[in-house]
């Protein structure tokens, strides 16, 4: 008989989403029936007004939980994943609506899927992160993690920005464009895809550079090894920002710089057995739709 290795499971819901209470409570009660200790993220507990389960901060969840189940969407998953990655907590994503690239379980089928995972019938997928350090006015900001991408973009009121890109200390190219996306394989199906970048299988360990509307069409996407260190220097920018998974950002001015490398800890995602990346792509990108 298989012994469940997930003794304490944390439930985390989409921020400020009151409709999350019913599926979270249903899932929590289901886990209790499976003799699993259930805890709620403290912000989730406050949002839904629940005192049914103990509540912990995300850092406390990282230190003590064996598994985190995120109910919401890919945006919620991005924020939680990069917070819990340093703690090596396994994460499962449940999507409120249509299946996502990261949250691949449906609310309707989540109990069956979670039951399989508790029985050990799952596959583990590790996703690399990016770590970025921004230097502004000779002051280095605290490092920021990103699961999807680090993107440097002109603002709504600014013209094209001018950047210098260095790879492993060597000058690579000058870029005059609307922006530059530094992407993980996970992020290759997000902003980078809309900018013309390639789809990268999430099992790859590599970093993509994708220019956004470059002034010179010869500025094309390029894929780098995981160990690469990318430095981007801002030469000209009347209105420029750097975004990390669209969850945080810094304003940038001329002579600011961003150094990006792979993060030290990957995100560990769990999927039920039978999960297929290409099936998910086909569904999300409507590859098989007839004209």
List the catalytic residues.
Answer: 74
Separation of alpha carbons 178 and 175, rounded Å? 9
How many Cβ atoms sit within 10 Å of the Cβ of residue 26? 13
Tokens of 219: 């500025």
Give the rounded distance of the alpha carbon of 43 from its chain centre. 19
Contact between 40 and 53 (Cβ < 8 Å): yes
Burial of 194: CB neighbours in 10 Å, binned 0-12, 13-18, 19+: exposed
Q: Return the closest-CA partner of residue 58 out of 43, 74, 77, 37.
A: 43
Residue 149: burial class (beta carbons within 10 Å; 0-12, 13-18, 19+): buried
φ, ψ (nearest 5 deg) of residue 25: -65, -40
Q: Which residue has the tokens 């929590």?
A: 28
* Cα 10 to Cα 229: distance, rounded to the nearest angstrom: 35
Contact between 130 and 207 under an 8 Å Cβ cutoff? The reply is: yes
Are the C-beta atoms of 262 and 230 separated by less than 8 Å? no
Q: Give the number of other CB atoms < 10 A from CB of residue 64.
A: 15
The two tokens of residue 132 are 């970025």
Helix (H, G, I), strand (E, B) or coil at 244: strand
Query: Which tokens belong to 106?
Result: 């449906």
């Amino acid at each position: 008989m298989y012994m469940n290795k997930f003794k304490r499971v944390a439930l985390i819901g989409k921020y400020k989403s009151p409709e999350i209470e019913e599926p979270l409570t249903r899932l929590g009660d289901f886990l209790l029936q499976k003799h699993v200790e259930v805890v709620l993220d403290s912000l989730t507990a406050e949002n839904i007004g629940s005192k049914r389960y103990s509540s912990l901060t995300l850092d406390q969840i990282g230190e003590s939980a064996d598994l985190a189940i995120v109910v919401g969407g890919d945006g919620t998953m991005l924020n939680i994943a990069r917070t819990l990655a340093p703690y090596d907590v396994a994460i499962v994503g449940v999507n409120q609506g249509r299946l996502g690239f990261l949250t691949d379980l449906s609310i309707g089928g989540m109990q069956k899927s979670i039951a399989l995972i508790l029985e050990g019938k799952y596959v583990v997928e590790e996703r690399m992160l990016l770590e970025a350090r921004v230097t502004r006015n000779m002051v280095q900001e605290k490092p920021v993690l990103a699961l999807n991408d680090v993107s440097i973009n002109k603002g709504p009121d600014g013209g094209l920005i001018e950047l210098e890109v260095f790879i492993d200390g060597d000058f690579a190219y000058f870029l005059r464009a609307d922006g530059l996306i530094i992407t993980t394989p996970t992020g290759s199906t997000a902003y980078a895809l809309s900018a013309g970048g390639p789809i990268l299988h999430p099992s790859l360990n590599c970093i993509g550079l994708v220019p956004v509307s470059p002034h010179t069409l010869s500025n094309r996407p390029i894929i780098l090894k995981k160990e690469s260190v990318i430095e981007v220097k801002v030469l000209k920018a009347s209105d420029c920002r750097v975004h990390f998974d669209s969850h945080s950002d810094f304003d940038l001015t001329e002579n600011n710089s961003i150094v990006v490398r792979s993060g030290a800890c990957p995100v560990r995602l769990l999927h039920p057995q039978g999960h297929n990346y290409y099936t998910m792509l086909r569904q999300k990108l409507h590859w098989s739709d007839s004209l």
